[in-house]
A and B are shown apart, each in its own frame.
Chain A
Amino acid sequence: MDLRLDSEQDSIVDAVAALLRRGGRPPERARQVSGRLDAEALRRLDDTGFLDVAGDGSPRGHLTALLITEQAARDLVSAPVGARALVAAYTGVPDPPRAIGLAFGQRSIVRWGTDVDAVLMLDGAAVRLLPAGEVTAERVPSRMTYPLARVSARPGRGTLLGDGAAARMTRAWRAGLAAEIAAAMTGAVDVARAHVTARTQFGRPIGSLQAVQHRLAEAHVQAQGSMWLARRAAWDLGSDRQAALAAAYAASAAGPVFDAVHQVVGAIGFTTEFDLHLWSLRLPVLAAELGGPRAHAAAAAAAQWPARAQGPARG
């Protein structure tokens, strides 16, 4: 057990951050590419090999792919980094295209769904890779900060991946999702923290008020918990339990963290001139993905109490 980034991981994360920030500071860049896929950022990551770090299939490789996913989300990159670096790599997609959308079922909402090269569709016990031409993707108008599309495919289309692909894809997706949620939470808490430190009411910074401090402190705990569970799940990517626990914790904390960060910043949090929404409005989208918190939590329970897994369930 050693929770420090080693020098290689540290330099990879630093290099990814530097590469991504070449396109501008994260909030400015996010506003420039608002509503579309940031193909340039994805290309740069691909050209430098950062989307292929999970290649050797080792725990270390998976963790590195997750750390890159986390950093990209922290920097508001508008591109499916984890879908390629972690999910497609671990699921065993041969020659994966650069921009991959992740779909849950034959008809679902997919981030960047109109802009991706291909869709990796988790369809019950099957996983299919569908080139963009084989799916129908309709843009879904939304105030959320990701470009969203309703993606559907007719049964039987695309390339069916081999045995075990569905379980592998589910685990990697859950781990990556938890990392993206953790990163969005951390970014949002940071913006809120800076605001309450500077904002004065009643003659004092509102961040000195205990009611404000405690809400942000709880959000910090949930962001940190999500981050560590995601990293742990990536290391042990063969474990259904770890992946489900990470996603369950992060997805269920997303709502409370959203509420907390918006509560402490007040009305300015509703303006698009203020940076908070760039991170916070990612949370509802991520929390709902892949079945949402109840599905992740029920999966964790099924892994913990397998006897019950066959029986009827209310959850």
Chain B
Amino acid sequence: MDFDWSQDQDELRAHLRSIVEDVVPPGWSARDRDVATPDRLELTMRLCQRLAAEDLWIPHWPAAYGGRDASPWEQIIIGEELWGAGEPRGPQYMNTNWIAPAIVAAGTEEQKQRLLPPIAAGEVLWCQGFSEPEAGSDLASMRMTAVRDGDVYVLNGQKVWTSYAHVAQYCFLLARTNPEVPKRRGISILLVPMDLPGIEVREIPSVLGAHAIHEVFFDDVHVPAGCRLGEENEGWPLIRKVLANERIGAARFERASRVLASGIAATDAGGPQDRAAAGQALAACEAARMLAYAAVQDRIDGRDDTGSASTSRVASVAAERAAAQVLAAEHGQESEAAGNPADDQFTVSMPVSITAGTLEVQLDLVARLALRLPRG
């Protein structure tokens, strides 16, 4: 057991900070990663391409696909530095963290040749088509149908809460290919070009900000069968693995900790009025960090049944909320003004217990995997 970073890892961190400083303007917030405007989108593209040019974009990918098999520690350092800066990779953090790894794991050679190079170059945007109006936490109950007709699938249905759908070129989509079998056995993954006829994206007005969420309608969309990832009806096991990666990839604690530190330093007093509460919020951030590291270690060791990814997510929710409460208390009424650090943290922390699996789903997983409690 050793809690030091190697010299290479320290240098990596410093290098990432210098790139962020170079490309990302001061005041970039986690809310900007929703790329509501063309200039924000352009900045995320520029950053990803710069990372690609500096070999910092896909280091954890296998060497055969342009990566260098870097350790998950390197991946979390990148996650910390970029999430910490408000995730200026924008929508593309998903590409590198879990969409591409899923394609590497289950894609055909043709799919890898076609889809991975644009991701590796940092020039393509994906969205994720998981949730539906009737399938939220119970994701496997999705109703979106994909009916095979010769060499195409015909898609009909609706996805919802789809971040980045307004700009994405592809959707990593779950659809039901066999309605006759138990729900988890009839799901397939389709990698769908968003410019196919019959796809309509609608922004859902939200209190989170412009373009935070969308719904996407599929009306007789013809998707080539070659867009299916993995075997037909075998999408669910792959999805479970993918979701574990997603949970680990977002270093929320780092951003919460930075916003807390700078947000309190920015008050008139330059420090907290309520030191105990501020210290507790910092402690919550650091606990979430250590639990994220424990989850990374489990991934390195090939242990995917310890519940540590969910344990880490539960702690991250607590950290985000504690930071929001302390910032609001320290900034008082000023925290209501748009642009105040407390308002920013309030908005960012609002959905953290919902997105990427609700807090309740995470607690279910901790109970089942870490504590081995009996199923309900």
Chain A positions within 8 Å of B, measured between CB atoms, are 1-6, 9, 59-60, 63, 189, 193, 196-197, 204-205, 207-210, 212-214, 216-218, 220-222, 224-226, 228-229, 231-232, 235-236, 242, 244-246, 248-249, 252, 293-302, 304-305, 307-309, 311, 313-315
Contacts and interface: CB of A to CB of B under 8 A. Distances in A.
15 contacts: A1-B2, A3-B1, A213-B376, A214-B367, A218-B363, A221-B311, A228-B294, A229-B287, A249-B280, A293-B276, A297-B277, A297-B280, A298-B279, A301-B275, A305-B278
Interface of B: 1-5, 9, 73, 261, 264-265, 269-280, 282-284, 286-288, 290-291, 293-294, 297, 301, 311, 314-315, 318, 360, 363-364, 366-368, 370-376
A300 B279 contact: yes
B1 A298 contact: no
B294 A305 contact: no
Contact of B314 (A5, A207, A218): A218
A193 B371 contact: yes
A189 B372 CA distance: 12
A226 B284 CA distance: 10
B373 A9 contact: no
Contacts of B283: 229, 245-246, 248-249, 252, 297, 300
Given A2-B297, A217-B366, A228-B293, A314 B360 contact: no
B4 A1 contact: yes
10 nearest interchain CB pairs? A308-B271, A297-B279, A225-B287, A315-B276, A315-B275, A228-B290, A213-B367, A300-B279, A305-B271, A217-B366
A305 B264 contact: yes
A265 B272 CA distance: 39
Contact of A1 (B73, B279, B280): B73
A301 B279 contact: yes
Contact of B269 (A217, A226, A300, A311): A311
A220 B280 contact: no
Nearest to A205: B374
A213 B297 contact: no
A248 B367 contact: no
Given A220-B370, A311-B269, A248 B280 contact: yes
Contacts of A308: 269-272, 275
B360 to A, nearest CB: 7
B290 A225 contact: yes
A208 B374 CA distance: 5
A213 B364 contact: yes
Contacts of A295: 276
A217 B314 contact: yes
A236 B301 CA distance: 24
Nearest to B308: A224
Contact of B376 (A59, A209, A315): A209
A67 to B, nearest CB: 8
B1 A213 contact: no
Given A3-B293, A213-B367, A214-B367, A249 B287 contact: yes
Contact of A299 (B73, B261, B279, B315): B279
A226 B318 CA distance: 14
B102 to A, nearest CB: 26
A225 B275 contact: no
A225 B288 contact: yes
